[in-house]
Structures are given as C-alpha cells and as structure tokens.
Amino acid sequence: MIGLYGGSFDPVHIGHLRIAEDIREAFSLERVIFIPAYQSPLKSKSRASAEDRFNMLKLSLKENPFFGIDDIEIKRKGKSYTIDTVLFYKKKLGYPPVFILGTDAFLSFHLWKSPEELIKNANFIVAGRDEISFYDVEEYVKDHFPEAVIRKDKKIEKGKSGNIYYFSMRRLDISSTEIRNRVKDGKSIKYLVLPEVERYIFYKKLYRG
C-alpha cells in the first residue's frame, strides 16, 4: 500500500518527515510519496519556487528508502487539485490510493475541488494535532460527508475507498511559516529542518524578503 503526502512544503521540515514516518510504520505502508504542489488552490502563492521546494524535498528524503517524491503537480503547473492526482494514482496503482493530510487541511475539505469524488476514489489518513480532536473531525465528517466512514483503527482495506482514518500524531510544534519568519528575522532554523535544507535555504537566500 502506497501513501500519498501532498502539500506546499515551503519549506519541508522535520515535522513533515516525522509524521510521514510515524504513519508509514503505523499503517504498514510500503512507501510514502511526497507530492509538492505547484500552487495550492486555498493558499497564497508559495514563497519559494516549485523548483526550490522540490530540491529541498529531495535532499530531505534521500536517506529514507521508504520515502519517494513525485513532481506530477509541478509538471502540471497551474493550481494543484488533489482530485487530479488521486485519479492518476488510482489508475496507476489499480486501487484507491491513501492520501495523508493534517486536520487543518481536512477541515476545509468541503472547499476542495470535487470533494465527494475524492471520497469515492481514495482513503484518507488525517493526522490530528493541536486542540483539534478526533471528535471535531468526526462531527465534520457527519456534517459534510455522511457517506464516508471515520475510523481509528489502522487496517486499510485495499480496493475499498471512502474511509477516513484518524491518526493521533506526536506533538511537534513546527511550521513552515515559523521557519520562513525565523529566516527573515535572521534567527536560527537549526534542528527545525535537516542540515542539508538549512544549507540550501541560506545558499539560495530563500525567505529573506
């Protein structure tokens, strides 16, 4: 079973990497494929270019044989719609893919393009954090997607779709926004990103303006 992990990754940090590793182990995934968006439809334009964000991901993932990266959304350009990626992978894999996202993103799921079609064609692992609990996600699903099934187990049934698995993630209070702000303010980002990414950010003079 392959897990898809989408996002802006502007920049990728150790929180992204750790939650992906935790989910891979908990759900016995063969691999986790990171898919950087060219432009997230519900976010402002990324501060770093698609090329730089892709390169930072490559540097971060190279030592983990269970992680991969796909530039499908970057090559597609324009706004990156998850439904397009999910349908592509469903055809490629031959079964509904598993898509990983955080609760903050999931609680705006009804604003995504073709959310009902997404539910029909994929399963989702929602990583809970901060004050948002399983019950918040459960109520959201009941209100917006009553046809979906919310679960707390970790047994993904290959070939089936419409399941939303809640995963209680470890608390790592790190965000890409904080990293960008620290760089802008001349503060250290050591231990928030991998050393290779820290060097890349400063070599390319990213996030300074």
Residue with tokens 């901060």: 130
Check if the beta carbon of residue 111 is closer than 8 Å to that of residue 80.
no
Strands across the sheet containing 2-7: 67-69, 31-36, 2-7, 98-102, 123-128, 163-168, 149-151
- State pLDDT tens for residues 122-170: 999 999 865 568 889 999 999 999 999 999 999 998 899 999 999 988 8
| CA 105-84-22 angle, 5° bins | 45
Peptide bond into 11 cis (omega under 30): yes
Nearest Cα residue to 59 out of 26, 12, 121, 16: 12
For residue range 49-70, what is the model confidence (pLDDT) as tens digits? 999 999 999 999 999 999 999 9
Mean pLDDT for all residues in the chain: 94
Q: Quick one: average pLDDT of 189-207?
A: 97
Where do the DSSP E strands lie in 114-208? 123-128, 149-151, 163-168
Residue 32 pLDDT: 98
- State the residue for tokens 């209100």: 143
The pLDDT, as a whole number, for residue 45 is: 81
| Closest alpha carbon to 19 in 133, 128, 116, 176 | 128
Confidence at residue 130, expressed as pLDDT on a 0 to 100 scale? 59
What integer is the mean pLDDT of 42-47? Answer: 83
pTM above threshold 0.75: yes
| Calpha distance 100→7 (Å, rounded) | 10
pLDDT at 46: 82
- Residue 176's pLDDT band, with cuts at 50, 70 and 90, is very high
Give residue-wise pLDDT tens across range 96-106: 999 999 888 89
Lowest mean pLDDT among 38-47, 63-72, 102-111: 38-47
- Taking alpha carbons only, the member of 197, 179, 160 closest to residue 58 is 197
